[in-house]
Amino acid sequence: MNIIILDGVLFVASVLLIVGLRKLSNPDSASNGNILAAVALGLGVLVALVYPLETQSNNYLYIGIGFFVGGTIGLISAKKVPMTAMPEMVSLFNGFGGLSAALISLVWMVNNHLSGEANELGIVLLNLFLGLVAFIGSMVAYGKLSGSLKDDQLKIPFSTVLNIIILLIAIGSIGVFSYNGYLSTSQTILFCVLSLLYGVTFVAPIGGADMPVVIASLNALTGITAAISGIITDNKLMLLGGVLVGSSGIILTLLMCKAMNRPVLSVFFGNFSSTTGTANQVEGNAKEISASNLAIQLAYSQRVCIIPGYGMAVAQAQKIVKELEEILEKKDVEFKYAIHPVAGRMPGHMNVLLAEADVSYDKLLDLDEANSYLESTDVAIVVGANDVVNPSALDDPSSKIYGMPILKLASTSNVIVLKRSMNPGYAGIQNPLFFKDNTKMLFGDAKKSIEILLKELKNV
């Protein structure tokens, strides 16, 4: 097949990828956008398989094995992963994307006998460093999200200083090796170890409440490595896809940092949630409410707002919440959803859950809109959220989440918290909101609690 035809196919794939990603910005068109983007990347893979015919290469056995093994793993993983494990899967797949970029750099170096012109070698070493950081950082994030790695298991003394030192050594090494135009095998191995070490020290100190931000930054790193890999391999589609993913990841990281009130530089130096002193002790008696009493409150309310969190994903309660919305709207109750930017375990986690339940995008309120709306809300129902409604972020300087903008419920007439128990949230801190005068607890599995609530509402 002629190279010109292959380039034409890549151009079509590029257009499809741009259109597909653009459609992902709206829930109504997201499904079609995902299909278009998948077709675009599929065309890119096919072109990558055909290109060796034009260059007289003979690596089809290796390509076929990789295609079959990777495709099988991806298909099985996507089919079996529950919604609650989606953040871990995103982190895992993102890590393998970084590893792929790092391997591309290593292959280039081996083929060029670990030498090259300063500019070429510098770009390849930068890609190797970023790829390995994205890989091992995503693996650590995966461990934290899955619960197999606890924050206290990854305590690193003087982590901020250590991160800066390692980063400066890595940047200096890239400069020196590029200037010399050559690396020895041992130097290459040491550079890889240094890169992996920084990936660990980069993510390890970051607390649970900040994981959505670090995932966004790791996605950005992987996108950047994909773009650089496209330059190294002269693959235009990979370059385009990498630029789109990298730039959107950077924008998302900036937005998430703003939402968390965290300095952007703290992302790279691993100093997210460092606090001094001892957190204030939370004392008080939590008041419970029955499903029947809550049903009466809801039926005679004018405004009701749901605040979803990771607990909603665990309980798979999004569809039953949608049923609650439909019943209350039939009773002329205004119904909205307050979405915190970092609710859940990854950026947009709650949006994905609610879209799965066909919740209208118009009913979702961002942080500023939600706080304004909550001031005049009759009943706010917190479904499995904890840290994003924790007032310690506003009034406890010793708290891990101090300074983080939250959904403010102090002025809401009635706050109902659906939780299995009084255990703290992902950040590992107790929530004073649970003991406020306007707050009552409805204990139990969120889905089952709302199912009982729906039965009671039908009798009101």
Tell me which residues are annotated as active site.
387
- Amino acid 384 reads G
417 phi and psi, to 5 degrees?
A: -110, 120
Amino acid at 163: N
For 132, the token pair is: 């390995």
Q: Rounded CA gap, 414 and 334, in Å?
A: 15
Residue 355 CA to its chain's centroid (Å): 17
Burial class (CB in 10 A: 0-12, 13-18, 19+), 322: middle
Our measurement of the distance from residue 87's CA atom to the centroid of its chain's CA atoms, rounded to an integer in Å, reads 6
* Radius of gyration from C-alpha coordinates of the chain: 25
